[in-house]
Chain A
Amino acid sequence: MQTAWGWPIAIYLFLGGLGAGALLIAAAFEFSGKRYQYDFCPTALVGATVPGPLLILGTLLLIFDLGAGRREPWRILYMYTHFSSVMTWGVWLLTLFIPVALIYGFLEILDAFPATRQWLKSRRWLRWTAFLWNLPLRQTKRIFAGVGAVLAIGVATYTGILISAVGPAIPFWSTWVLPFIPIPMLPVLFLVSAISTGLGLTVDLAATLALGSVEQRLKSLPWIHLALIGAETLLLGMMLITALMAGGSAAKSAQEIIAGSYAIVFWFLIVLPGFIFPFVVHAYAIGLGRHSPVSGVGSGMGIVISGLFLRYLILISGIPAAL
C-alpha cells in the first residue's frame, strides 16, 4: 500500500467529483428546460449552490495535505505557471470552477427566491451590486451553467488524470481502459462516478427530501440510474481485470481489493451501497412504476458514500512499482 496520499486527498477527490457531478446535473436540468417545468426545482437549486462550497472545502484539504501548503500556503502560487504539470492544470481548473460555481449558485438563488433580490436591493451597503439588477437573470445564469458544465467535466476528469499521471510509480492507478487501449481508466471512471454521485445528491437525496415524489417529475430517473450503475460497474470491473492481467504490483492492488486486505471496504462499502442496493431499488421502481421516498434517500446516500470509498480505496490500494 502507498502511504503518501490518504484521507485528505481521498476527500478532496470525492468532493471535487461530487461538486462537479452536481453542477452537471443542474446544468442538464437548466438546458433541458426541466428546471422551469415547476415553480421550485430542488435539484437545480442544490446542483447550482452546493458545488462552490464543496470545492472550497476540498481545495482547503488539498492545500492542508501539502506539507509546504501548511507552512507557506502562498507557495501554491508557484503551481500556476508549470504548464507541463498535471497539477497546474488542476490548479487552473479549480481556480476557474470555484468562482463560476459560486456565481451560478448565487444566480440560481436569485431566480428561485425572488425575495432575495428585494432583500439585497434594500441593503445600503450592497448598493454596489446595482448593476446586477439590469442583467437578464436567466440568460446570464445559462451562460454560467454552460461554462460551469464544461469546467465540471474538466474537474471530474482531472481528479482521475492526476492520480493516473503518477502511473509509472503506482501502476494500478494508470491501468488502461483495456490491455490494448493505452488510455488510463481512472479519468473515465471518475467522470461517470462524479455524475452518479451528483445525481445521488441532487435528485435522490435533495429532491426526495424536498418533494417526496420525485418519480412524478422525472419518470426516467430509475433508467438513468441503472445506466450509470451499469457503466460504473463495467468500468470498475474492466479496470480490475486489466490490472489483474497486467501482473506485478497492479495485479497485487486488484487482488487486495477483491479478496485481500480491502475486500470488506470494497464489497460492503462500495459495491453493496453504491451498486447493488441502488440497482435493486431502481429496478424495483421501474417494475412498480413508483419510488418510495425511503428507498430514494437510501439509494442516494449509498451512492454518495460509495463514491467517497471508491476514491479512498483506489488511493490506498496503490502499490509502488518494483524498481
Chain B
Amino acid sequence: MLPSHWPKWTIILIALALAVFAVFFGLVLEPVAQAMMPRPTPTPILPMLHYAAPQSWDCIFCHTNYEKLRQFVADEAKLERLWIDPADIYSTHGRLGCVTCHRGTGNTQDVALAHQGLVPNPSDYREAAKVCVICHGNVRTDIPEKHIHTPHERILKGIREGWEVCACSNCHGPVAHGEKPLASHEGLAAYCMDCHQAKNVPPERLKCSGCHIAPHDIALDCETCHRSTRTWSNVRLAVHPVELTGAHAQLACFDCHKKPNFRGLRYVCSDCHQRPHTFGDENCERCHTSEGWRK
C-alpha cells in the first residue's frame, strides 16, 4: 500500500499520526454530533458552594470553649445551645466549616464583626437553596430500604420557588453539630403534626403511613398493632385472628410468622411444633394446652 520507495520505519510515524488524528477527529466531530441533540444540563456540584472552612477557625475557637462563650452569653440554656462539641467539627458537615453555611465574617476575633450577616438557620427555606440544596438537590421521596416516604420533592420545589416550607433541620437536625438525622422521633412527629394540623393537611397524612412504608403486605394501619414511636417491636396482639393464650402470648410475631408478610401459617400446631412421639395424630390439642406440653 505505501509507496515502495518510502522507508519501512515511516509506518511508525503513520501509526502515531493516525492515533493523534483520531483524537483531533473526535474533538471536531463530538460538538457536531452534540449540536444535533439537546444539550444536557450540567448537574450542580459542590464547587458552587461557597467553601469557607479555612476561614472558620476563629468561630470554632469560641464556640467549642465554654469559658469564652460565657463572656458573651449569660443564659445557661442559650450557652448550651451555642456550644459545639469539638468532635462535631470533624463530622461530614462539620468539615464544611461554620462560615460556609452560616456566613457571617470569617477570620476575625471581633465578635460583632464575626456575626455580621450571620444566618442562624442555613436550612431555612429562604436560605437552603444556597446551602443544603446545592448538594442535596435530588433527594428521593420514597426511601424503601428505610421504609420511609417523605415530601422531599415538594419541599425542594418550595425551597427553589420560595414558598414557605419547613427547614431541612426540622427533621434532620443541625447536621454539622453532631445531631444524627431523624434522631428524635417525638420532636419530629410533634413538629410535623402541629404544622400539618394547622395547615389542614388531609388526616391520612397524619397517620404512621403518612411517612412510613409498611413492610408487611397486609391492609391494616400501622397503629393497629404497633404502639410505640420509639420501637416497632412494641406491638399489641389485638388483631390476631386466633386468640393467643399461655406460652403463645409470650411470643414475638415473627417467632411463628414469616417476615415480613405473615404468610405460611395454617394455624395448626404442626406449623411450628414437631411431634416428639409416634402415638396420637396431628391434633395436639387433644392432650396438650397452650400453657405447656406437659399440661
A15 touching B12, Cβ below 8 Å: no
Cα distance A113–B7 in the bound complex, in angstroms: 10
Chain A residues, Cβ within 8 Å of B2: 209-210
Complex: chain A residue closest to B18, CB-CB: A205
Which chain A residues border B25 with CB–CB below 8 Å? 305
Decide: B37 and A304 in contact? CB cutoff 8 A. Answer: no
Choose the segment among A28-36, A45-53, A84-92 that binds chain B (4+ C-beta atoms closer than 8 Å): A45-53
B9 contacts the other chain (Cβ, under 8 Å)?
yes
Known: A45-B11, A209-B1, A210-B8. A323 touches B139 (CB 8 A): yes
Report whether A7 and B27 are in contact in the complex, using a CB–CB cutoff of 8 Å.
yes
Q: 12 A-B contacts, Cβ less than 8 Å apart? A: A2-B45, A3-B42, A109-B9, A113-B9, A201-B19, A205-B18, A260-B37, A261-B38, A262-B34, A265-B30, A269-B33, A305-B22
Q: Are B15 and A202 in contact (CB under 8 A)?
A: yes
In the complex, which range does the number of interface residues on chain B fall in? 35 or more
- Interface residues in A250-275 by Cβ distance below 8 A to B read 256, 260-265, 268-269
In the bound assembly, the distance between CA atoms of A80 and B26 in angstroms comes to: 32
Listed in ascending order, the chain A residues whose CB lies under 8 Å from chain B are: 1-4, 7, 11, 14-15, 18, 40, 42, 45-46, 49-50, 53-54, 57, 109, 112-113, 201-202, 205-206, 208-212, 249, 256, 260-265, 268-269, 293, 301, 304-305, 308-309, 312, 319-320, 322-323
Which A residues are in CB contact (< 8 Å) with B18?
A: 201, 205, 301, 304
**Which residues on B sit within 8 Å (CB–CB) of A4?**
45
Contact partner, A256, options B16, B19, B40, B42, Cβ 8 Å: B40
Separation in Å of the A196 CB from the closest CB of chain B?
A: 14
Cβ of B171 within 8 Å of any chain A Cβ, yes or no, is: no
Smallest CB gap from A113: residue in B: B9
Q: Cβ of A264 and Cβ of B33 under 8 Å apart?
A: yes
Known: A1-B42, A264-B36, A301-B22. A322 touches B15 (CB 8 A): no
* Closest-CB distance, A208 to chain B (whole angstroms): 7
Give every chain A residue within 8 A of B182 (Cβ-Cβ). Answer: none
Residue of B33, B43, B139 touching A1 (CB-CB under 8 A): B43
Q: A205-B18, A206-B11, A265-B30 are in contact. List 12 more A-B contacts (CB 8 A).
A: A3-B43, A11-B23, A18-B19, A45-B8, A45-B11, A46-B15, A50-B16, A53-B16, A54-B19, A210-B1, A212-B1, A269-B30
Residues of A within 8 A of B135 (CB): 323
Contact at A304–B41, with CB atoms within 8 Å? no
Report the bound CA distance from A304 to B26 in whole Å: 10
Which residues 36-61 in B have Cβ within 8 Å of A in the complex?
36-43, 45
Residues of chain B from 131 to 154 with CB closer than 8 A to chain A in the complex? 135-136, 138-140
Closest to B43 in A: A320
Q: Which residue of B lies closest to A205 (CB)?
A: B18
Q: Quick check: is B111 within 8 A (CB to CB) of the other chain?
A: no
Distance to closest chain B CB from A141 (angstroms):
16
Nearest-neighbour CB distance to chain A for B103, whole angstroms, equals 22
A208: which B residues are within 8 A, CB to CB?
1
Q: Are B40 and A308 in contact (CB under 8 A)?
A: no
Given contacts A260-B40, A264-B37, A319-B43, contact A206 B14 (CB under 8 A): yes
Q: Is the CB of B15 within 8 A of A201?
A: yes
Least CB distance, A110 to chain B, in whole angstroms:
12
| A304–B15 CA distance with the chains assembled, in angstroms | 11
Residues of chain B contacted by A109 (CB below 8 angstroms) = 9
Chain B hits for A57, CB < 8 A: 20
Q: Which 6 A-B pairs have the closest CB atoms?
A: A322-B138, A261-B40, A46-B15, A264-B33, A212-B1, A308-B26
Inter-subunit contact A312/B26 (CB<8 Å): yes
Closest Cβ neighbor of B27 among chain A residues: A7
Q: Which chain B residue lies CB-closest to A264?
A: B33
Task: Given A209-B2, A319-B43, decide whether A112 and B8 contact each other with a Cβ distance below 8 A.
Answer: yes
The reply to whether B19 and A263 contact each other, CB–CB distance below 8 Å, is no
Q: In the complex the two chains form, is A308's CB within 8 Å of B22's CB?
A: yes
B37 touching A263, Cβ below 8 Å: yes
- Kindly identify which residue among A206, A293, A322 contacts B139, using a CB–CB cutoff of 8 Å: A322
In the assembled complex, the CB of A4 is this many whole angstroms from the nearest CB of chain B, namely: 7
Interface contact B1-A54, CB-CB below 8 Å: no
Question: In the bound complex, how far is the Cα of B26 from the Cα of A11, in angstroms?
Answer: 9
Q: Which of B19, B33, B39, B43 contacts A50 (CB 8 A)?
A: B19
Closest chain B residue to A320 by CB distance? B43
Chain B residues within 8 Å of A260, by CB: 37, 40
Known A-B contacts A54-B19, A322-B140; A1 and B40 likewise in contact (beta carbons under 8 Å)? yes
Cβ of B183 within 8 Å of any chain A Cβ, yes or no, is: no
Chain B neighbourhood of A46, CB < 8 A: 11-12, 15
Nearest residue, chain A, Cβ from B12:
A49
Chain B residues in 8 Å Cβ range of A3: 42-43, 45
Whether the pair A54, B40 counts as a contact (CB closer than 8 A) is no
Nearest CB of A to B276, in Å: 41
